[in-house]
Structure 1
Amino acid sequence: MKTITFIFLSLFIAKGCSQQQKEEMKNTSIEYQAMSRGFYLNILAKDKELVVVKERDGKPELRKISSSDWNELSDLFLKIKPEDLSKFKVPSENRFVDAAAIANLRVIYEGKLYESESFDHGNPPKEIKDLVNKIISIAKIER
């Protein structure tokens, strides 16, 4: 009986923590931006919605994010520490010679702005690679 009670309480507590973290995501915004001379992309994810702008001074497209995509995006975000975003090592430097668009990731979490170092579009730091790729795939943007 103690074992069953322990398992039940463990699941209840784990679900409660997970649910609380998901609630925090309602006040979190994640913005991915990539640009070069002939390319512009801005994707803003917030509260199960996505705003996509594909050209400078372009018209924003509002899209709903499915619950499964939002949950996956939330899980990927919660795996990183926003305060470490600027510390992640960039894997390549093609943006310095116009071989790749300049990209960055900005997060507003708990009222604070966190921003990554600039990196090559299509080649983010490994710590945020899955998160960036998920944002791009939800926006249905070809890399």
Structure 2
Amino acid sequence: MKALVLVLFTLLMGKGCSQSNADLASAKLTYTAHSRGIHKVIVLENKELTYENGRGKDATLTASTLSDSEWEALVGQFKTISLEQLNTYADPTQARFYDGAAIANLTIEYKGNTYRTKDFDHGTPPVEIQPLITSLLALIKE
């Protein structure tokens, strides 16, 4: 009887934790940062990175394919994020309120659902997504 309870408990815990094993290959990440002076959009979808810098006729668009090591690093960081709680992560600073930083956010489209952070200061993301944002920003070539 104890063995049956243990097996059922293990199965239920595995189902409950399945979100933490989210598959980055099935997701589309969009990071945006904008203010009067900057406009950046980074889109990551299945090892393909697209970066738009600027607005209108001054905009530049760059596309690249991530290396296996870059991809694996992002996969590991993505797995640590709880998509359902993404919009509850607190912004550590509020410099965007007085034009001290660009307004940034992260949107994740995963399995037909869209998850979005609250706005935060570009360069100072919530602690829970900081490694992922730092890695994304490191991949763009300005």
TM-score by length of structure 1 reads 0.80
CA distance in 2, matches of 1:78, 1:56: 32
Aligned pair 1:68/2:69, yes or no? Answer: yes
Aligned pair 1:81/2:78, yes or no? Answer: no
Residue 60 of structure 1 deviates from its aligned partner by 2.2
CA distance in 1, matches of 2:141, 2:60: 17
- Listed as ranges, the matches of 1:12-27 within 5 Å are 24-27=23-26
TM-score by length of structure 2 reads 0.80
Partner deviation per Cα, 1:47-89 (whole Å, 9 max, x = no partner): 1010000012324211111111011101101111111110001
Residue 52 of structure 1 is matched in structure 2 by 51
Partner deviation per Cα, 1:22-44 (whole Å, 9 max, x = no partner): 8x322211111000001111000
Q: What root-mean-square deviation, in Å, do the aligned CA atoms of Structure 1 and Structure 2 show?
A: 1.3
Q: Secondary structure at the match of 1:60?
A: strand
Residue 34 of structure 1 is matched in structure 2 by 33
Q: Secondary structure at the match of 2:24?
A: helix
CA distance in 2, matches of 1:75, 1:26: 12
Identical pairs, percent: 34
* Structure 1 counterpart of 2:96, one-letter code: R
Q: Secondary structure at the match of 2:31?
A: strand
- Listed as ranges, the matches of 1:112-131 within 5 Å are 112-131=113-132
* Structure 2 counterpart of 1:97, one-letter code: Y
CA distance in 2, matches of 1:103, 1:50: 18
Partner deviation per Cα, 1:82-138 (whole Å, 9 max, x = no partner): 111100011010001000000000001111100000000000000000000000001
Contiguous gaps of at least 5 residues in structure 1? 1-20
- After TM superposition, the structure 1 stretch with the greater mean CA deviation from structure 2, 30-39 or 56-65, is 56-65
